[in-house]
Amino acid sequence: MSIEAVERAHVTPLLAEDRWKGRIYLGEWVDAPVTIDVTEPATGAVLGVAGSADPATVARAAASAVRAQPDWAATAFTERAAVLRRAAGLLQRHHEELARWIVRETGGVAAKADVELQASAGELLEAAALTSQPDGLTLPSAQPGRHSLARRIPVGVVGVIAPWNFPLTLALRSVAPALALGNAVVLKSDPNTPLVGGVLVARVLEEAGLPAGVLHAFTGGVDVGQALVADPNVHMISFTGSTAAGRAVGAAAGRLLKRVALELGGNNALIVLADADVEAASSAGAWGSFLHQGQICMAAGRHIVHESIAADYLDALTERAGRLLAGNPDTGKVALGPLISEKQIARVQQIVDDSVAAGAALRIGGHRDGPFFPATVVSDVGSAMPVYQEEVFGPVAPVITFRDADEAVALANLGEHGLAAAIQSADPERALEIGRRIRAGMVHINDQTVNDDPHAPFGGLGASGNGVSFGSVANWDSFSKWQWVTSRNKATPFPF
């Protein structure tokens, strides 16, 4: 047994149930006003009983956070960075334990759990690097003897509302940089994933030495989210979720004149030009549509393929889909796990059925098997069909054809979303030129649509978000604000 394996064997579990059962984190673990069962999507088994918040809890947490925030902001940047680096180390040290929780609670396969843990550690490390970056600039002054500068200061208390699909990464994408830049945070995880999306964030930062009161974490329903948005002690909301919910959050925050970062849904285009390598393109298409059962905002929801190679592309994509087994990722070697809930799988089935009724053809898949939905390829798709118009959020690859670049761009830009796009071509310069015409916050050439690096700007346009980006230096814009400071060498009289 290696030294690393010996060390892992003697690690105290980070998510030991006696710490979080029936509790929430308000700077310390306290009994929750409500409890909910944590269920495994693949089997329906109860994995544990988590604490859940109510609106009164939100008020208590926000009041505590606003008191703790000034001292945290005044903490040396080296210590803030050290806390975040220690948290990243804990994720790495507890990888095996946490990967199993991700598999069982989110329904993701083992490879998805590995990716999520690596990405989450990356978010923490990238945030730690923010703390030592320049936080202002010197401005010229027209008045002799006056020094003028602009500096970035914390927003204050940041409310984070995180989703269920990549609950750890998408919570830390906001929590980590907000903390790095001196803010306090109140985190609401999704009720589908209260452990990985909330309890784990609290535990890893608690163990890393984050001072009490700087972070509060709990799950809750719509009423808890609404209370978080409305609370006067919360100065900013970072929301990741559906476009419909994001519109409500944005409207409420706007009325209260609060800063809001909205990362919403996507219906992303993968354009395959006539000169593309069909095998490579179909591989990109399969990965983009079927990874984590298509439950990713960046998933390839529209395969826009030149008519001259459409038949070959469909054959290749269908063959790849047929190799992908769906089943319980905790007990079998499968490529696709369950969808997150009965509501979600019923929705995916309805979209597929309605599109087939409208004239689309099933090449493979298309029929649920309990909580599982197979990799599905749909051809003869029209741009008015539900499978093309809606964000499916399931393992469904609709294929539509085009004749020329103008038609491909029009098909890609059809609808309100504008998150990600990818273009496959033997001519990357031509692909880049087409990419410049696509309304999307992220465009990838000879790649697929699901890309996310902690150091790269991430944000959508239109119904995919309000253009506020996450990632590296973009986080300065999201989680801090400008303050202008002047200083005179000595006080001088004015005309009055």
Give yes or no: 28 in active site.
no
Catalytic residue, from 263, 319, 391, 407: name it. 263
Q: For Cα atoms 69, 71, 73, give the angle at the middle one, nearest 5 degrees.
A: 65
Query: CB atoms < 10 A from the CB of 290, how many?
Result: 27
How far is 132 from 475, CA to CA, in rounded Å? 14
Nearest by Cα to 172 from 75, 87, 62, 81: 87
Contact (Cβ atoms closer than 8 angstroms) between residue 424 and residue 334: no
Contact (Cβ atoms closer than 8 angstroms) between residue 192 and residue 165: no
Q: How many residues does the chain have?
A: 496
Catalytic residue, from 97, 297, 342, 390: name it. 297
To the nearest 10°, report the CA torsion of 219, 220, 226, 229. Answer: -10
SS3 105: helix
Query: CB atoms < 10 A from the CB of 436, how many?
Result: 9
Side-chain half-sphere CA neighbours of 434 within 13 A:
28
Side-chain half-sphere CA neighbours of 42 within 13 A:
21
Phi, psi values for residue 422, rounded to 5°: -140, 150
Give exposure, 14-46, as e/b (b: 16+ Cβ within 10 Å).
Answer: bbeeeebbbbbbbbebeebebbbebbbbbeeee
Return the bridge partners of 280, or none: none
SS3 25: strand
Nearby residues of 116 by Cβ (< 8 Å), 6 or more positions away: 102, 108, 166, 168, 169
Q: Which long-range contacts (CB under 8 A, 24 or more apart) does 403-408 make?
A: 403/306, 403/307, 405/273, 405/434, 408/271, 408/273, 408/304, 408/306, 408/434
Give yes or no: 40 in active site.
no
Nearest by Cα to 226 from 423, 398, 54: 54
Tell me the DSSP string of 299-329. SEEEEEEETTTHHHHHHHHHHHHHT--BS-T
Instruction: Give the residue numbers annotated as catalytic, written as ranges.
Output: 263, 297
